[in-house]
Structure formats: C-alpha cells, structure tokens
C-alpha cells in the first residue's frame, strides 16, 4: 500500500506585476489583506497519484486580467476610488507563485528601494591596476575614432564582463565611452547586460544626448534586454534635463505599464515635468498617492511644488506645500526656503515672505546671495523702508555673502523706497570694490533715485560720468533722466539727452514714449512742446499724429475713437493706460476738457480702467488709484455729472459715497491724494478725508444730494 502524508504549508504568493488593475505606483497592502494562503498538500508514492498530482490545479481566487490597460490619466483619480480596495474584492495571486521567507527581525523594505544590480568585484580583481592604466591610456589618446580603436587593440586581457565594465566606468568624455560600448557590442565578447546600457546612458545624460539614449532604450527592447528601474530613471531624468517633457511623460507611462516602481529620483523628476507642463492636478494626485503609500517626500520634491505654485502666484498652493512639509516633519533647507520666499513674492504676499526669511535665520541657516536678492526685491516692491534698512544693517554686521546681482538689487530697492543716502553709500562701496564695479543697471538705479527726488544736477553729473568711465546707457536710464529733466522744465538738456541716447543706438520703448508724453503735458509754452514732440516723433510718429488730432477741436469723436484704437493696438498692454492718462493730462493742460472726457470714455470703453467704479447697496465709490492727476480730476467730474443725472431722475441713492486715491508709499510720490483733495475743494463737493482710511474721501447721501441739487439747474453734464 502506497504511503501517504499530508502537511499544512504557508505559501506566499506575489501579486502579479502585469496586473493592469493594479493601483498606480505606490499602493501598499492593507493590514486586513492576508498575503499568504494556507493549503493542505497530500503526497503519495504511487505513480498514478504522482502523475495526477503533477497537473496544476486552477486557483479559484485567480482573476482574469482585462485586455484593455488603463492609461496614466485614467489612473490619476482620487485615492478613495483607486487605492482603497472594495470590501468584496478578492485577493489576486500570480500565475507563478514563489515562496518567500521574510526575516521579522529586519525592518520592512522601503516602498521606493532601488532594484540595483550587484556590484562587480573590482576590488578583488588582481588585474585592477593594469586595467586602470589602460583606461588612462584610452582617456589620454586623441578624441577621434581611429586613434581610440588603435589603442583598444592593445587591450591587456580578453574582454569579459568584469574588466569591460571597469573600463567603461573609467572613460571620459561620453564620446569615448560610446565608442568603447559599441566596440563591445560589435565584437560580441559576451552577452550585453542591462548594467552596461545603464552605465552608458548615464554618460549620455551628462552629455545631454537624449536621442541616443532613446535609441539605446529601443535597442534593449528589440533585443529583449530588460529595462530596470535605473534605466527608466536615467531616460526620464535626461528627457527632463533636455526639455523633452512629453518624452519624459511617455517613458514614465511605459515604466508604469511594465510594473516597475519609480525610485525617489524618478519620482521627483516626473513631478517636476508635470509641473513644467502646467499639469497641476496630475502633480497633486501623484504626490498624494506617493505619500499615502508610504513614500516620504524629500527637499527636491517640495522645491518642485513650491516653484510650481509660486510661478502661478498661487498663495493657497504655497500654503499647501508648507502644511505638507510640517505634516511629514521635513524642515526646509536653504534651497527650499529660497524657492518659498520667491514664490511668496510672486504671489504678492510680502508679509509671509518676511516671516519665512525670519524663520530661515532662526533655524540657524545663513542666507545666501539668492535669498537676499529675493527678499530685497520684495521689500523694495512693497516699499517697506524699515525692513529694507534692517536688512541692510544685518548684511553689513553679519557679513552675509553678496554678488553683483545682489548689489544692483539693493540699489533698486533703495531707489524704490527713496533711500538716497544708503544708495549713495552702496554706490561708493561698489566703485571702491575690485569685483563689483557699477554697471549700466547700477547707474540706472542711481539715475532713478535722483530723478524721483528731482535732483537734476546730480542726475546730469551721473549721466556725464557714465560716458567718462565707459558705461553704456540703456533705455531705462534714458527714461529716468528725461523724466527728471522734464519735471524741472529743462527742455534743452532733455533734448540733448534724448539725442545722445539715439546716437548710442538706444531704441525707445513704450515707457520712454509715455515719459515724453507726460513732459508734453507739463510744458508751459508752445516752443517747448514742439521740441519734446520732435523727440517723440523719432520714437513714435503715430503717437505725435494722434496728439495733433486731439488738439484739433474739429476732430469728431468717431475719428478720435478709430485713431485711438490704432495707437493702442501698437502699444504694449502695460503701457496703454499710462498713454491714456498722459493724453488726458495734455488735454487738460490745454483747457480741452471736453476732449479729456472723450478720452476717459474711450479708455473705459477699451478696458483701460476696469475697476474705476464700484457699487454696493450701502456705498458707491470711485477708485482713481491708477489714474494720473488730470485723469483723476476728469473721472471725478464725470462721476459727479452722472450722479446729478440720477438725482434729476429721482432714483434711489446709497447712504455713503467715497473716492479712493490711495496713498503713495514712495518718498517722492507726486501726491495724487493732495491734488485730488484740492480739486474737490475747487468744486465745492462735500467730500472729506476719511478718518478710517488714508487716501479716501467720503460724503454722506444728504450732503451730496444738497450739493448736486444746487448744480442741477445748470443742466450741464460736467460739474465744474
């Protein structure tokens, strides 16, 4: 009688890597899922029983994989729908299960641990010294194919896997490594393995040769040489470096379809690729899947996220990054701090940027040139004088590092805030230094400071000095100087400065043209106006023709409208409203008030003043923050005329009216608020300075109604 025995065995089954229903990337097994299944196996010594038992039984828990593989975009769904299994979902077993013993005393393997090849035992190779000398000989030979192949004929031993890999790892540059790699393939000394392709691809990545890398990858597929984690990581990171973002995504999706798990480098690289492609949702989905499956993001990842949200000016996104860093207990390094500070600056949050800078200092890190440049730009744009001075003092007392860009940024910051003495001292320090001599932008910043303060003599001295020391003038410096000369009515010097700039091949831009337009509005006599217009004609003839058109009272509104549209179409977006402001100022300076109102109407029609009026149930307001003095006066008159019509029709009015001019934070601001307040007094309008808001004038319904009713009998659209 045949002997029989039975035993219960623990057999561990690995999940099939080819399962297309597998959750994307980093899905980790839940605790309630049993990774093993207990079977009772019965064995008999009889031949019949042996033959029958050799036929594999169909696993009742095994599921049939669907034919269609889901794309990466279809996999990027919320975690609740893809990562968490359904309650009735059965465990999947691979068709070829393997028994695996797990040592309970060792820590669990990292989710993203790399599948790297075993290192070749070069250290135990007795031929190591001889092979290194031969590799040096290859590196020292001429960088051409003939010379290289000639040296290869002197290979000291029969090429094999170990000595060939050592030589390949020792060659420079990538062209020589590629010649050696192809020589190995051509002579077929031994089967080429994945590790040889990986080493070669790393050389090619350093050389930015993505097309060659992709050829090798396709060659591996054709020759059935497996692409491992390192292969895909090198391909994807090289595609990103070479700005082939679509290719990086393509190979990442191919990697996913093979069932390989990306490592930290690949994961950070593909997040950066998606961010550069503007695929914010995909970035967030990939990030959250990784964290949910046990992956701990590194500094590179958070830097990518911060930069993505910062470029978009997404303040909520930046806050999300900070919260995530706190949740995974990652402290920012200097690179991440720099990225976050720059991001806060783009998002228009100077207060949060300052908090981050203070956190950086408190954490024990020392800011570098990039940090200080970013925070200086933010302080200058926000016009924060105290913070700017504090930063400057800290830089000097703590001897923080500086570079040329930082010096110029500090000068610009001082110019934005109007800190003349500090700027002059820094400018002197730059002149005395050996490595940071003032350049064109340094002089421009100083010209801007003197121009804003109306110090025309120092501005002209600086202008002359630029030619003496051989510093080239730029269009921004020309604009600052012309603005300064125009404000002080030194028209002849203005013409000379403009002529010199043209001789220096400076190409006038819209900002310079706008500056010349503003000077026209300031001129007191026709002779000066014609001199400035002659300069403007060299820069923008059509603009001069339009000035002449609006000066002619016979020009119809339709004609002005059509020509104004043409002028705006030739002007950059950020210069269109300043042009309109200056043109209105010119009309008011010539007592062409009706034409000024026409231009304000056309500016509103073409979207140049989108937030000029605002109405709520309790308050109607006029916002003239972005208008020039003349344009603001025109807008006020237009508003009062409209309100007079509403009163005449007997329509309801709100309780409160307000006019907001804002308050110039620049030390040398022209003072729109003061000019506007003076005009209110001239009109006799019952607006008073608000006690709660600076640069805001308010009037009650009762007071304004009485004043408007006193103006109604004139039946004039414009209250004057």
- Rounded Cα distance between 601 and 610, Å, is 12
Picking from 12-26, 198-212, 286-300, 438-452, which range would have the lowest pLDDT averaged per residue?
A: 12-26
Q: Flag whether pLDDT at 121 surpasses 60.
A: no
pLDDT the model gives residue 47: 40
Q: Residue 145: is the preceding peptide bond cis (ω within 30°)? A: no
Q: Which of 301, 332, 302, 329 is nearest to 318 (CA)?
A: 302
Q: Flag whether pLDDT at 135 surpasses 70.
A: yes
The angle subtended at Cα 278 by Cα 575 and Cα 367, nearest 5°, is 75
pLDDT the model gives residue 557: 95
CA trace torsion 85, 88, 94, 100 (10° rounding): 80
pLDDT the model gives residue 322: 87
Name the E strands within 103-198: none
- Rounded Cα distance between 151 and 147, Å, is 6
Residue with tokens 């039975």: 6
The predicted model gives 182-204 an average pLDDT of 93
The angle subtended at Cα 577 by Cα 576 and Cα 580, nearest 5°, is 90
Share the mean pLDDT of the chain: 81
The predicted model gives 174-193 an average pLDDT of 92
Residues in Cβ contact with 193 at an 8 Å cutoff, skipping those fewer than 6 apart: 117, 161, 225
- Rounded Cα distance between 242 and 210, Å, is 7
pLDDT tens readout for residues 16-56: 444 443 334 333 333 344 444 444 444 444 443 333 334 44
The token pair that represents 309 in the structure block = 């949200």
Q: Flag whether pLDDT at 89 surpasses 50.
A: no
Give the CATH number of domain 611-711. 3.30.1370.110
pLDDT tens readout for residues 646-683: 998 989 999 999 999 987 554 444 478 889 999 999 98
Burial of 651 (0-12, 13-18, 19+ CB in 10 A): exposed
- Rounded Cα distance between 376 and 384, Å, is 10
Residues in Cβ contact with 449 at an 8 Å cutoff, skipping those fewer than 6 apart: 414, 415, 418, 420, 423
Q: Considering Cα of 77, then 83, then 86, then 87, what sign does the dihedral take?
A: negative
Name the E strands within 632-673: 656-660
pLDDT tens readout for residues 359-409: 999 999 999 999 999 999 999 998 899 999 999 999 999 999 999 999 999
pLDDT the model gives residue 124: 53
The token pair that represents 685 in the structure block = 């309008």
- Rounded Cα distance between 308 and 302, Å, is 10
The angle subtended at Cα 407 by Cα 406 and Cα 410, nearest 5°, is 85
Note whether 680 and 660 are within 8 A (CB): no
The predicted model gives 252-256 an average pLDDT of 87
pLDDT band of 217, cuts 50, 70, 90: very high
Percent of the chain's residues with pLDDT above 90:
53
pLDDT band of 125, cuts 50, 70, 90: low
- Rounded Cα distance between 584 and 566, Å, is 17
Q: Flag whether pLDDT at 68 surpasses 50.
A: no
pLDDT tens readout for residues 448-497: 999 888 899 999 999 999 989 999 989 999 999 999 999 999 999 999 99
Q: Flag whether pLDDT at 109 surpasses 70.
A: no
Q: Which of 313, 321, 256, 257 is nearest to 288 (CA)?
A: 321
Note whether 608 and 580 are within 8 A (CB): yes
In this structure, the number of other CB atoms found within 10 A of the CB of residue 645 comes to 12
pLDDT the model gives residue 713: 57
Query: What are the φ/ψ torsions at residue 471 (nearest 5 degrees)?
Result: -90, 130
pLDDT the model gives residue 262: 79
pLDDT the model gives residue 703: 94
Domain boundary assignment for the chain = 611-711
pLDDT band of 531, cuts 50, 70, 90: very high
């Amino acid at each position: 009688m045949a002997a029989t025995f039975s035993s219960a065995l623990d057999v561990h089954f690995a999940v099939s890597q080819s399962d297309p229903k597998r959750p994307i990337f980093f899905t980790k097994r839940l605790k309630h899922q049993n990774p093993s299944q207990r079977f009772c196996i019965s064995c008999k010594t009889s031949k019949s029983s042996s033959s029958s038992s050799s036929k594999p039984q169909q696993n009742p828990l095994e599921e049939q994989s669907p034919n269609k593989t889901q794309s990466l975009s279809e996999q990027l769904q919320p975690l609740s729908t893809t990562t968490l299994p359904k309650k009735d979902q059965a465990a999947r077993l691979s068709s070829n299960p393997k028994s695996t013993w797990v040592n309970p005393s060792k820590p669990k393997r990292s989710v993203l641990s790399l599948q790297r090849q075993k290192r070749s035992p070069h250290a135990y190779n007795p031929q190591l010294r001889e092979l290194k000398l031969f590799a040096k000989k290859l590196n020292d030979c001429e960088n051409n194919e003939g010379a290289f192949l000639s040296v290869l004929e002197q290979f000291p031993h029969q090429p094999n896997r170990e000595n060939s890999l050592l030589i390949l790892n020792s060659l420079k540059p990538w062209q020589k490594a590629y010649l050696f790699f192809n020589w190995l393939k051509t002579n077929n000394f031994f089967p080429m393995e994945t590790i040889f392709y990986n080493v070669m691809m790393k050389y090619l990545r350093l050389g930015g040769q993505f097309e060659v890398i992709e050829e090798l990858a396709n060659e591996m597929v054709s020759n059935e040489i497996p692409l491992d984690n390192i292969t895909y990581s090198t391909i994807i990171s090289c595609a990103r470096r070479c700005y082939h973002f679509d290719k990086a995504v393509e190979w990442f999706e191919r990697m996913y379809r093979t069932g390989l798990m990306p490592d930290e480098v690949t994961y950070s690289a593909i997040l950066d690729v998606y961010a550069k492609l503007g695929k914010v949702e995909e970035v967030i989905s990939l990030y959250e899947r990784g964290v949910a499956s046990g992956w701990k993001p590194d500094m590179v990842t958070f830097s990518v996220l911060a930069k993505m949200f910062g470029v978009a000016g997404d303040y909520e996104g930046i806050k999300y990054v900070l919260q995530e860093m706190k949740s995974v207990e990652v402290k920012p390094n200097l690179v991440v701090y720099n990225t976050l500070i720059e991001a806060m600056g783009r998002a228009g949050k100077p207060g949060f940027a300052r908090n981050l800078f203070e956190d950086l200092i408190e954490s024990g890190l020392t800011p570098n040139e990039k940090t200080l440049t970013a925070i200086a730009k933010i302080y200058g744009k926000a016009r924060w004088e105290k913070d700017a001075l504090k930063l400057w003092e800290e830089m000097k007392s703590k001897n923080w590092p500086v570079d040329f860009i930082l010096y110029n940024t500090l000068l610009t910051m001082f110019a934005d805030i109007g800190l003349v003495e500090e700027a002059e001292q820094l400018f002197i320090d730059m002149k005395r230094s050996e490595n940071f001599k003032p350049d064109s932008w340094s002089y421009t910043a100083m010209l801007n400071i003197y121009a804003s303060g109306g110090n025309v003599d120092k501005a002209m001295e600086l202008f002359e000095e630029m030619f003496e020391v051989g510093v080239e003038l730029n269009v921004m410096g020309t604009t600052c100087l012309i603005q300064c000369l125009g404000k002080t009515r030194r028209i002849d010097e203005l013409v000379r400065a403009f002529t010199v700039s043209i001789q220096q091949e400076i190409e006038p831009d819209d900002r310079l043209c706008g500056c010349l337009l503003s000077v026209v509005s300031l001129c007191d006599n026709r002779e000066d106006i014609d001199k400035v217009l002659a300069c403007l004609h060299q820069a923008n003839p059509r603009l001069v023709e339009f000035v002449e058109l609006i000066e002619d009272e016979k020009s119809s509104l339709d004609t002005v409208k059509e020509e104004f549209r043409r002028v705006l179409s030739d002007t950059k977006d950020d210069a269109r409203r300043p042009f309109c402001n200056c043109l209105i100022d010119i009309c008011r300076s010539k007592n062409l008030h009706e034409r000024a109102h026409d231009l304000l109407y056309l500016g509103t029609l073409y979207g140049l003043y989108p937030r000029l009026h605002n109405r709520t149930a309790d308050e109607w307001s006029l916002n003239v923050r972005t208008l020039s003095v003349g344009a603001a006066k025109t807008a006020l008159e237009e508003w009062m005329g409209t309100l007079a019509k509403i009163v005449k029709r007997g329509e309801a009015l709100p309780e409160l009216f307000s006019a907001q001019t804002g308050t110039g934070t620049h030390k040398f601001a022209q003072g729109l608020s003061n000019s506007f307040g003076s005009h209110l007094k001239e009109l006799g309008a019952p607006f008073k300075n608000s006690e709660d808001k600076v640069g805001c004038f308010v009037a009650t319904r009762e007071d304004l109604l009485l004043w408007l009713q006193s103006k109604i009998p004139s039946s004039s659209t414009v209250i004057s």
